[in-house]
Structure 1
Amino acid sequence: MAKKSISKKKLARTIFQLAVSIIALYIVLAKTDTAKLLEVISTASPWHLLVAFLFFNLSKVLNALRLNRFFRVIGLNLTERYNLLLYYVGMFYNMFLPGGIGGDGYKIYVLQKQHGIRMLNVFNAVFWDRVAGIFALVFLTAALLPPSTFAVLHGEYIPAAYAVLALSYPLSWLLTRLLYKQFTPIFLVTSLESILIQAAQVVSAWFILLALSLPSNHIDYLAIFLVSTVATILPITVGGAGAREITFFYSLNYLGLEPNTGVALSLIFFAISAVSALVGMLFQGKSGKRMKKVKGMDEGNAG
């Protein structure tokens, strides 16, 4: 009965996420000149998109390296190769199995099962890795708002943006010290990695803008891109689909900018994310058996 109840909850969550994504995309596409949107996407430069794809995956490699630092603190000594493959499997679960165990849940389950380490310790590492990423995201968003058109329209809020810039990492350090003291020795390096991760994604988005031949207002689009990334953190859509598009559409309209390029950017970024996540499909298997095989090969080579 308990398993059936859990399955029903997962199904309900999946249906909810799909519904939110579909409704959000419908709202955007219904209000957008779809013919022009398709024209913008179809004329995108493939070489710029390739560079965008590479920078996106660079951000994911850096993210896996950062996560592995947290694992080492709790006594999990994973090879970088095994950890990277596990990370991509987690991406696959997040993107293509909405409402299920989720990417973080999969990693926690596999690592606890294969290494016999306390699940709470693995959860703490994965959770604080996520928090580190959120602080970097907020920091960079605050950095891009002052030079954007938003500052022209609402200059009264810019001091708050500077305050966020000044206080983000002192607050992050304080919370780490109070809540997860074991991670303080790696605070500086993981904070730097977090900024590099988000910066790599911003560069990826910028190359998409170049692919779409956007002549101006790049800062505005990139600032909205970061804001839309904050919107995708909430697990109410499938892989962020719909949340990013609707944020772009209404934000660009509010700033008086042309929304088609922003919507095209968000759709292409989602496509890059999905294609990248498909790599994880090659390594996922029931109860992590394929991942266990890779782990064993790495340990054998190390020996």
Structure 2
Amino acid sequence: MLEKYLTPPQKKLIKFALKLLLTIGAVYLVTQKIEMDKAWEVLKGASPWALFVAFLFFNFSKISSAFRLHLFLKAIDIGVTALLNLKLYYLGMFYNLFLPGGIGGDGYKIFLLGKWYTIPRTKIFQALLLDRLNGMMALGIYALLLITFLGYDMGYPLWAGLSLFIAIIAYPIFVVGSRLIFKATANPNHKAFQWSLLVQLFQLLCAYFILQALGVDEYIPEYLTLFLISSIVAIIPFTVGGVGARELVFIYAAAYTGISEEKAVVFSMLFFMITALSSFTGVGMKVEEGA
């Protein structure tokens, strides 16, 4: 009822305030579930060299993501250069993390591309949405394959077999569905999916080297599986930058997997820090048509 009396900026501010409250609540819940002294000791002992390698792999994943998006933009006749597209991608990362209640990275890209090219903004939105869905599909398939491995390893063949079956049929169903719904933007699906697999592989390598930085040498598949699941959860925008959401996934799964709660939370925090640090690359970038 109150919504009709609020201006768009007020609505955005209220949404951000709610998201911030949920973030604070999730972080508080996490701090109550772990021993902060142990977590601090884990963080202090982290290897800077392994974290640097993780940082590199994270940015390799983002550069690969930008190349994937470029395919979808070309499919709708947007002739943006690969370099400008990369700049837009990093600037979008920054907006997604640090613009409270703003239009977000995708919204900013839709605004600029709609301004530069005579392409309907709904078409641009579809291209960006399909790009996201393509990435989520690869993320989900990697998670299902890891669950398959864990299922066989833990003696749950039915669970493992079901995960493998879903992983096999997921992409063909996605391709058919996307071609029916997004006719104009579905052409690069196969090439885009190859980029998506590379993106998620780099993300897994980033996660692996964060674990190495923390001295984790057991339960690696469990950590990586939870990392992928938490990435899916973090996409749902109910906390700021996914903060708190990732950590809660690790906390509640720790009892069933044998992983260290403190190491899992520090791992998640370090991944967010790498994401935040990388996103600052987009600050100050010149994003003009042809630039």
Q: TM-score, normalising length from structure 2?
A: 0.94
Q: Deviations over 1:135-187 (max 9, x none)?
A: 11110000111222796275442222011111111111111221123344312
- State the partner residue of 1:287: none
1:275 to 274, 277, 289: 277
Deviates more, 1:173-182 or 1:198-207: 173-182
Please say if 1:98 is aligned against 2:100: yes
2:192 to 190, 194, 199: 190
**Distance in 1 of aligned mates of 2:189 and 2:277:** 32
- State the partner residue of 2:71: 69
Counterpart amino acid of 2:182? Y
Deviates more, 1:43-52 or 1:16-25: 16-25
Cα distance change of structure 1 residues 257 and 60 upon mapping to structure 2, 3 Å threshold: same
- State the partner residue of 2:287: 291
**Distance in 2 of aligned mates of 1:104 and 1:72:** 17
* DSSP-derived class of the 1:116 partner: coil
Paired residues for 1:33-52 under 5 Å: 33-52=35-54
Cα distance change of structure 1 residues 226 and 21 upon mapping to structure 2, 3 Å threshold: same
2:146 to 119, 144, 164: 144
**Distance in 2 of aligned mates of 1:2 and 1:50:** 49
- State the partner residue of 2:126: 124
Deviates more, 1:177-186 or 1:212-221: 177-186
* Alignment root-mean-square deviation, CA: 1.8
Cα distance change of structure 1 residues 3 and 153 upon mapping to structure 2, 3 Å threshold: farther
- State the partner residue of 1:257: 259
Counterpart amino acid of 2:25? I
Contact 1:149 1:220 in 2 (8 A): no
- State the partner residue of 2:82: 80
**Distance in 1 of aligned mates of 2:13 and 2:186:** 39
Q: Deviations over 1:103-156 (max 9, x none)?
A: 111100111012232101111110100110111111000011122279627544
Counterpart amino acid of 1:113? K
Please say if 1:223 is aligned against 2:219: no
- State the partner residue of 2:249: 247
Contact 2:97 2:241 in 1 (8 A): yes
Contact 2:223 2:259 in 1 (8 A): no
Deviates more, 1:46-55 or 1:251-260: 251-260
- State the partner residue of 2:240: 238
**Pairwise CA distance, 1:223:** 0.3
**Distance in 1 of aligned mates of 2:184 and 2:100:** 32
Contact 1:73 1:183 in 2 (8 A): yes
Paired residues for 1:163-178 under 5 Å: 163-178=165-180
**Distance in 2 of aligned mates of 1:9 and 1:132:** 30
Q: Deviations over 1:242-274 (max 9, x none)?
A: 110110111112223221111111000000000
**Distance in 2 of aligned mates of 1:146 and 1:116:** 46
* DSSP-derived class of the 1:257 partner: coil
Contact 1:150 1:255 in 2 (8 A): no
**Distance in 2 of aligned mates of 1:262 and 1:106:** 33
Q: TM-score, normalising length from structure 1?
A: 0.91
Counterpart amino acid of 1:277? S
Deviates more, 1:3-12 or 1:164-173: 3-12
**Pairwise CA distance, 1:239:** 0.8
Q: Give the gaps of 5 or more residues in structure 1.
A: 284-289, 299-303
